[in-house]
Chain A
Amino acid sequence: MLRTTLAGLLAHKVRLLLSTLAITLGVGFIVGTFVLTDSVDRGVAVTFAKSADKVDAAVLPREADEPVTPQTLDAIRRVPGVTAVHGMVKGDAPLLGRDGRAVGDFPTVGLSVPQGPLLRYDVRRGRVPHGPSDVVLDQRTASRHGFAVGDTVTVLDPADRPHRFTVTGLIDVGIDPDANFQGAVGFDPATARRMTGAKGFTEVDVLGADAAALTTAAGAANRVLSGDALAAELTRENGADADVIRTGLLLFAFVAMLVSALVIYNTFSILITQRMREMALLRCVGATRRQVFRGVLAEAVVVGLVGSLLGLAAGALLGLGALAAINAAGAGLPSAGVVLTPLTIALALFVGIVVTVGAAVLPARAATRVAPVAALRAEQEPGGGRFRPGPLRLGVTALFGVGGLAITVFAAGFLEKGQVALFSVALGGTVLFLGVLALMPVLVGPLGRVAGAVPARFGGVPGRLAVANARRSPRRTATTTIALTVGVGLMSLFAVIAASSKEQTDRRLADQFPVDFQVSAQLGRDSDTARVPHALATALRARPELDAVTEHRWHETRIAGEERTVTAVTPSAWGTVVRPEFRAGSLAAFRSGTAIVDEETAKSLNLRTGSEIALRGKKGAETKVKVAGVFGGDTPLSGVVVPEPDFLGYFGPQDPSRIYAKVAEGADEDTARAVMEKELRPYPSVILGSSAEMKAELNKAIDMILMVFAGLLGLAILIALFGIANTLTLSVVERTRESALLRALGLTKRQLRRMLSLEALIMAVIGAATGVVLGIAFAWAATRAMTEEAAFAVPYAQIALFIALSAVAGTAASFLPSRRATKASIVESLTHD
């Protein structure tokens, strides 16, 4: 039986090639993911090991917000045998750019850079800092902002006072995520403490010490790690990123494998149908059902094995390429060679073979049902005829269709907005998709007629034949098209959600927060220093080009034992710049001695209009305020909001955290911006944002994510297109004689090609359109499930583009089958089987 199997495989090797490729692509994706992430992991581990190798021991605080104290550092220094100690300092130290303003949205990280053996950074240029006027820059920060060794730079201290330094060197900060993301400036340890205002040390590195004595000196608040243990810990912390990336990529790999499975299932189904006589003949000469079944599965194992091995090779290259591409883009991933673990190899083979065999089980069962007598019967059209859904199929369709719909409607309409509702929509979508999968053979008839309306009307005979051909084997067309539905459906889903998010942002900004400029401190700074001087607001108010200058203050305090934010805005902003939607109470009731709260706070503190809140003000004085209203919607306000005079009374004078301003009526936006920039000049660390910029940046970020998703889903779509090419090739083989007849009767080669490309186009359009409909529907459900009053926007142009691209790609998929069909000799095809 094995010999028969192998002979069968060889005879059909071209027909199996495309399904092998489908597996290759899917497995390649998985392998590529593992190779990439494993290589990054290994690189991280190697780098940290190298870095930690320089220390004998490290003392780390048990709580991140309680750093190692200077006293402990002194104690460690006094431990016998200790030859070198470095108390590592890390904190905000905003570097000013050449324009005199702090660089980046986040402040640069100030680091301590020791001399001698405990230096863990690579010095790329110049030397380490020696004194209070020396600084080294992270090499990428330096190149991005145009600084070189010997330049003078300004860095702000915690009170935002400028200090001037000479750049003595450039360092490589390695894979410290903060320093990489925010940029870094390095000082000698004493200067670093002064410039960052750090009260303690994030880590103390030690050379030459007795572990026990060190533990005693470090005290209970800290732990002591050996160099190796430190490397392991750093690797673990930083490897989490790779895990997230791996999980994300594997989700897309799963989609690709699902599509591959559909393609393989279809290939085997078609091949079995075409080989009905062969199967029957085997049965005639005495093969048992079990032998036939095993024979087909053995073919699947070989196909899966070959596909997986190719996928393994392709994946290794893919991972290598991705690593190179990411590094070329400047990510600076540590490199320690490409890692292909035995686990990856085992997983690739396992997944590839299991998916292939799994997809071939149903066709193999169909093969066993071939009666021996079929070998003797007159040939009939394989897989053709009208499709009549059986009771099982109708039942499955009804169950999954209605069930999926019910879950979705319930989740989108009745569940509380949030993650649970969103996941329920996803579940509903999956279930409904299974229903569509079962129903698809029934749908391709009518859908084919719709998708083929134009070709049938204007495509002449080739068009009419293409429509008829696309509809003649409903199962085959259904499986082929649904493979495309998966990819295009997810694409549409993401596209609609992206467009809706943009719409949501626009609407929110326009309705609830109509300002043009926002002034704030750099992001990620401690709340104490993350303020903007009140004097700036006063200066801005004096400018006629600006209007509605609003100060936004907040203060962290404890209410009912929990950390809460109390907020206030300039009184004139109410109803103009700030327009909260009241769920209860009203703005009119919001007077001195009252507060309004957002829904989340109201719920968690069980507050209603009329409830009382006890606010702990300065010097611990407690004041009772009455709740005048509960507001919802997306406003910049959150927590407990009190009138501004009250706020200043409770907590004392305090600078605002943000200042907003509008362009005055009649003023020019560019002029207004120039005014803003001029007034901001005395305050180098505050950053100016405009709502237009914010919108543009957010849209860019959303587009970026969408592009990445599109790229990752591209593979699933590509596999589905292989599926179309595959089905068409098999159909062409099956219709060899029919094509020859048409050619004899006067169908030109070009018309034959057009007929096949139209058939592919119709299949692609059926698949894509189904995907688009499902995608839009579930994007709607998902946006409804996410938030109340969610915006819903369909990017019609994009969606039309998806369908058009699918149609074009489908047409392209008909290239090989067309070549095969047109190259066939009429006479041979007419006279031979």
Chain B
Amino acid sequence: MTSTSAPQTHGGVGTAAPAVRAEGVSKVYGTGDAAVHALRGVDVAFDAGAFTAIMGPSGSGKSTLLHCLAGLDVVSGGRVFLGETDIGALNDRRLTLLRRERAGFVFQAFNLLPTLTAEQNILLPLDLAGRRVDRAWFDQVVATVGLRDRLRHRPAELSGGQQQRVACARALVARPEVIFADEPTGNLDSRAGAEVLGFLRASVRELGQTIVMVTHDPVAASYADRVVFLRDGRIVDELFDPVPASVLDRLAALEG
């Protein structure tokens, strides 16, 4: 098991307090003989202003970890902090409000509400929170993702790549503390995928955004500053400044 424990200073900010951290997080589905241990004591921190990828073989618990970090799922043991907030102590309502105000999401598919236009989808978290829209920021985000002429379209009228870019814009426009991305390019061809990933990386580099992304694609992971590897519900490795080849090597080592 190789690990590089150099203090990491990527992405500019590098403050002492991580944006998200997990302390001894475990997650068990079912009970008794049927119990499945998806996470077995995960300790991990994600620095603010960094783009981190979570990788691992199927069933390693990477999606479960993301869901627990984002407050979409409840941990069975351990604690999760978003900033200084212990999210395990929150009831459903507070958790929902926390997601609404402090987190952003990009999922693999079904990211958008079919009844809303692209613009309405982008503004949805702000509307839900009843927050005012910073028009200048909105324009900047929309310009960055290149959707200016698609704002009035409904999701059915957009391509898969455009839909994911709308989802990214939605995650960004609320300026959340962390964006959680679950296989954001899983359904896209490589060109559209590259666009979306490039855009996510730019938001970290240029706007200081924090992103945690689950992926199984070494190319996608290579856009991150750091890759965390999971196997059997445990963090087993990490890699800084990944390139596709190095990610593949580590993955191969895990599988083997």
- A residues apposed to B, CB below 8 Å: 380-381, 384-385, 460-461, 464-465, 468-469, 472, 737-738, 741-751, 825-827, 830-831
Minimal beta-carbon separation of A313 from chain B (angstroms):
40
Do A748 and B96 touch across chains, with their CB atoms under 8 A apart?
yes
* Secondary structure call for the A interface: helix
A745 pairs with B99, CB closer than 8 A: yes
* Least CB separation from A472: chain B residue: B115
Candidates A381, A745, A827, A830; contact of B128 at CB < 8 Å: A745
B-side interface mostly: helix
Contact present for B93 and A750 (CB under 8 Å) = yes
Closest CB-CB distance, B96 to chain A, in whole Å? 5
Decide yes or no: A748 and B114 within 8 Å by CB, A460-B130, A826-B73, A827-B67 being known contacts. no
Contact A742 B72 (CB under 8 A): no
**Distance from A733 Cβ to chain B, minimum over Cβ atoms (Å):** 15
Question: Closest B-chain residue to A466, C-beta based?
Answer: B115
Q: Is the CB of A745 within 8 A of B125?
A: yes
Q: Which of B8-16, B105-113, B134-142, B191-199 contacts A (4 or more CB under 8 A)?
A: B105-113
**A737 engages B124 (CB within 8 Å):** no
Residue ID in chain B nearest A751 by CB atoms: B128
**How far does the Cβ of A397 sit from chain B's closest Cβ, in whole Å?**
26
Tell me the bound Cα distance from A472 to B113 in angstroms. 12
Q: Which B residues, 29 to 73, have Cβ-Cβ distances below 8 Å to chain A?
A: 63, 67, 70, 72-73
Known: A749-B92, A826-B72. A744 touches B105 (CB 8 A): yes
Known: A749-B96, A831-B63. A744 touches B72 (CB 8 A): yes
Complex CA gap A831/B73 in Å reads: 12
A-B contact pairs, 11 of them (CB 8 A): A380-B156, A741-B113, A742-B124, A744-B70, A744-B72, A745-B99, A746-B99, A746-B100, A750-B93, A825-B73, A827-B67
The answer to whether A747 touches B128 (Cβ under 8 A) is yes
Going nearest first, the 8 A-B pairs with the smallest beta carbon separation are: A746-B100, A468-B115, A748-B96, A461-B127, A737-B110, A827-B73, A746-B128, A827-B67
B125→A827 contact, CB < 8 A: no
Q: For residue A745, which residues in chain B have a CB less than 8 angstroms away from its CB? A: 99-100, 105, 124-125, 128, 170
Q: How far is the CB of B26 from chain A (nearest CB, A)?
A: 16
Min CB distance A274 to B, Å, is: 15
Q: A742-B124, A745-B105 are in contact. List 11 more A-B contacts (CB 8 A).
A: A460-B128, A460-B130, A461-B124, A469-B115, A738-B113, A744-B70, A744-B72, A745-B125, A746-B128, A748-B92, A748-B97
Interface residues in B66-95 by Cβ distance below 8 A to A read 67, 70, 72-73, 92-93
Question: Nearest A residue to B187 by beta-carbon distance?
Answer: A378
Asked whether B207 is an interface residue with its Cβ less than 8 Å from the other chain, the reply is no
* Interface flag for B143 (CB, 8 Å): no
Q: How far is the CB of A38 from chain B (nearest CB, A)?
A: 52
A749 to B115, CA, bound (A): 20
Interface residues in chain B, defined as those with a beta carbon under 8 Å from any beta carbon in chain A? 63, 67, 70, 72-73, 92-93, 96-97, 99-101, 105, 107, 110-116, 124-125, 127-130, 156, 170
Q: Is the CB of B114 within 8 A of A749?
A: no
Shortest CB distance B17–A (Å): 23
Taking CB atoms, residues of chain A closer than 8 Å to B128 are 460-461, 745-747, 751
Q: Are B113 and A465 in contact (CB under 8 A)?
A: yes
Closest CB in chain B relative to A257 CB, distance in Å = 34
Q: How far is the CA of A741 from the CA of B116 in the complex (A)?
A: 13
Q: Please, which residues of chain A bring their CB within 8 A of the CB of B101?
A: 746
- Using CB atoms, name the residue of chain A closest to B109: A737
**Distance (Å) between the CB of A286 and the closest chain B CB?**
31
In the bound complex, what is the Cα–Cα distance between A830 and B180 (angstroms)?
A: 14
Pairwise interchain contact A827-B72, C-beta atoms closer than 8 A: yes
Interfacial chain A residues near B110, Cβ < 8 Å: 737-738, 741, 830
Could you tell me the distance between the alpha carbons of A738 and B121 in the complex, rounded to whole angstroms?
A: 12
A464 and B111 CA atoms in complex are apart in Å by 18
Q: Which chain B positions have C-beta within 8 A of A830?
A: 72, 107, 110
Q: Is the CB of B113 within 8 A of A746?
A: no
Our pick among A381, A472, A746 for the contact of B125 (Cβ within 8 Å) is A746
Q: Is the CB of A381 within 8 A of B72?
A: no
CA distance A472 to B154 in the complex (A): 12
Q: Are B97 and A738 in contact (CB under 8 A)?
A: no
Complex CA–CA separation, A825 to B107 (angstroms): 16
Instruction: Give, as a whole number of angstroms, the nearest-CB distance from A631 to chain B.
Output: 65
User: Smallest distance from the beta carbon of B168 to chain A beta carbons, Å?
Assistant: 13
Which residue of chain B is the closest to A739 with respect to CB atoms?
B113
B68 CB to nearest A CB, Å: 9
Query: Which B residues are CB-close (under 8 A) to A744?
Result: 70, 72, 99, 105, 107
Q: Distance in Å from the Cβ of B86 to the closest Cβ of chain A?
A: 19
Contacts of A831 in B (CB 8 A): 63
CA distance A515 to B127 in the complex (A): 67
Chain A residues lying within 8 Å of B97, measured Cβ to Cβ, are 746, 748
Q: Are B114 and A472 in contact (CB under 8 A)?
A: yes
Given the complex of chains A and B, what is the CA–CA distance between A469 and B67 in angstroms?
A: 28
A742 touches B113 (CB 8 A): yes
Q: How far is the CB of B110 from chain A (nearest CB, A)?
A: 5
The docked-state distance in angstroms from the alpha carbon of A825 to that of B63 is 15
A380 to chain B, nearest CB (A): 8
| Most chain A Cβ neighbours within 10 Å, of B99, B112, B115, B116 | B115
Bound together, the chains give a CA A825 to CA B72 distance in angstroms of 9
Q: A465-B113, A472-B115 are in contact. Are A748 and B93 (CB under 8 A)?
A: yes
- Nearest to B127 among chain A residues (CB) is A461
Contact of B125 with A741 in the complex, beta carbons under 8 Å: no
Measured between C-beta atoms, what is the minimum distance from B72 to chain A in Å?
A: 5
Are B96 and A746 in contact, with the CB atoms below 8 A? yes
Contact (A465, B96) CB under 8 Å given A745-B128, A751-B128, A826-B73: no
Tell me the smallest distance from the CB of A763 to a CB of chain B, in Å.
Answer: 15
Nearest CB in chain A: distance from B117 CB, A: 10
Q: Which single residue of chain A is at the shortest CB-CB distance from B114?
A: A381
Q: CB-CB < 8 A to A464: which residues of B?
A: 127
The reply to whether B105 and A465 contact each other, CB–CB distance below 8 Å, is: no
The interface residues of chain B lying within 8 Å CB-to-CB of A746 are 96-97, 99-101, 125, 128-129
The residue of chain A having its C-beta at the shortest distance from the C-beta of B182 within the complex is A830
Chain A residues whose CB sits within 8 angstroms of the CB of B114 once the complex forms: 381, 384, 472, 738
Known A-B contacts A741-B110, A826-B72, A830-B107; A460 and B127 likewise in contact (beta carbons under 8 Å)? yes
Which residue, of B127, B128, B130, B156, has the highest number of chain A Cβ atoms within 10 A? B128
Output the least CB separation between B256 and chain A (Å). Answer: 28
- Contact of B116 with A468 in the complex, beta carbons under 8 Å: yes
Cα(A819)–Cα(B110), bound, Å: 22
Write the nearest CB–CB distance from B179 to chain A, whole angstroms.
12
How far in angstroms is the closest Cβ of chain B from A830?
Answer: 6
Please give me the residue from chain B that is nearest to A462 by CB atom: B128
What residues of chain A lie closer than 8 Å to B107, measured between beta carbons?
A: 741, 744, 830
Interface centre among A380, A744, A748 (most CB of B within 10 A): A744
A380 CA / B114 CA spacing, docked (Å): 10
CA of A748 to CA of B100 in the docked complex: distance in angstroms?
Answer: 9
What's the nearest-Cβ distance from chain B to residue A448, in Å? 12
* Distance in angstroms between the alpha carbons of A742 and B110 in the assembled complex: 11
B63: A residues at CB distance < 8 A:
831
| A460 partner residues in chain B, CB cutoff 8 A | 127-128, 130
CA distance A742 to B170 in the complex (A): 12
Question: Are B96 and A747 in contact, with the CB atoms below 8 A?
Answer: yes
Residues of A within 8 A of B127 (CB): 460-461, 464
Query: How far is B176's CA from A746's CA once the two chains are assembled, in angstroms?
Result: 12
- Give the residues in chain A near B70, CB-CB below 8 Å: 744
B214 CB to closest chain A CB (Å) equals: 12
Closest beta carbon of chain A to B92's beta carbon, Å: 6
Given contacts A460-B127, A827-B72, A831-B63, contact A743 B96 (CB under 8 A): yes
Could you tell me the distance between the alpha carbons of A684 and B124 in the complex, rounded to whole angstroms?
81
Complex-state Cα separation, A461 to B156, whole angstroms:
21
Contacts of A748 in B (CB 8 A): 92-93, 96-97
How far apart sit A517 and B190, CA to CA, in the bound complex (Å)? 95
A464–B119 alpha-carbon span in the complex (Å): 14
Q: How far is the CB of B133 from chain A (nearest CB, A)?
A: 13
- Across the interface, which residues of B come within 8 angstroms of A742, CB to CB? 113, 124
The CA-CA distance from A465 to B170 in the complex, in Å, is 17
